[in-house]
Amino acid sequence: MPATTIGGREVHVDDEGFLTEYDEWDEDLAKELAANIGIPELTEDHWKVITFLRADYKEQGETATLRRVSAVGGIPTKSLFQLFPKKPARKMSYVAGLPKPAGCI
Amino acid sequence: MTDAPIVPDFGDDEEDRKISFVCSKGSLDMAYPGLIMASGALELGIETHIFFTFWGMDMINKKTMGKLKFSPVGNPATHMPAALAPFPGMTTMATKQMNKQLEDLDIPDIPTFLEHLQDMGCHLWACKMSVDMFKLTEDDMIDGLDGVLNVGEFMEIIEGAQTMFI
């Protein structure tokens, strides 16, 4: 696994750049990750998504899909597209320090 | 260890992709593939259009969309003896079983799935000829339908798109 430096600290990532170690992530790092992909500021709504994803991953062992974030997390799909433009499933996972969702829907 | 951080390329600068699906079947097992692929496309930010035609109209007809059936008749992939498939009650049983399997995977039913696609910005179009043939009105069809198109209009809309016929 490659390591890379984000926000002045070394973290482990996969070949694409997604974090591979759940515990290397914290809120400060999330801000850096978001800035890396063109999200300049994390709003309260962003944090709602991130917090749900982190907790759900811990329970389920896999990253929630958009459908799950809306059906279980109660965050409307439409707003996910506003918060993480164009490719919400991948972008939200990246900022939350999780792998891409494996499920199809 | 590299100097520049490794950051995923989300392809935001790439030229916009466009895809369309023609859904022409009204059985449960043929309704899902198009919807699942459309969902995958939308999640990647791809402009997505679905054109419903012929039996595919059942997918957006409010009366039928929640009651699509799966029949084992003529489908060797069910591994059921062919002679048993046409027996009364088989379709109901097979449909029930498939719905259960889908539910176990957290796959929504067809009406919920379509709503999810619409939330992601999917465009849904009905085929003019099928609408006329089945004598449907706008009220008969899914809320939020983008419109009723003839083939020529659909061709214009999907200019430059990859297209799949299902």
Residue A66: how many other CB atoms lie within 10 Å: 25
Give me the residue spans of the domains in chain A. 3-95
Which stretches in chain B have pLDDT values below 50? 1
Q: Report the CATH superfamily, name and number, of domain B18-65+84-165.
A: DsrEFH-like (3.40.1260.10)
The whole-number pLDDT of residue B3 equals: 65
User: Measured between CA atoms, how close is B43 to chain A, in angstroms?
Assistant: 6
Cβ of A66 within 8 Å of Cβ of B121? The answer is no
Mean pLDDT of the region A58-87: 94
Q: Which residue of B has its CA nearest to A36?
A: B7
Tens digit of pLDDT for each residue in B98-129? 899 889 888 999 999 999 999 999 999 999 99
Q: Give residues with Cβ within 8 angstroms of A60, minimum separation 6.
A: none
- Top pLDDT among A53 and A1 is at A53
Chain A residues lying within 8 Å of B9, measured CB to CB: 16
The reply to whether A66 belongs to the active site is no
The percentage of chain B sitting over the pLDDT mark of 90, rounded to a whole number, equals 69
The active-site residue, picked from A5, A38, A40, A104, is A104
**Residue A2 pLDDT:** 84
Tell me the one-letter amino acid at A32.
E
Mean pLDDT, chain A, whole residue set: 93
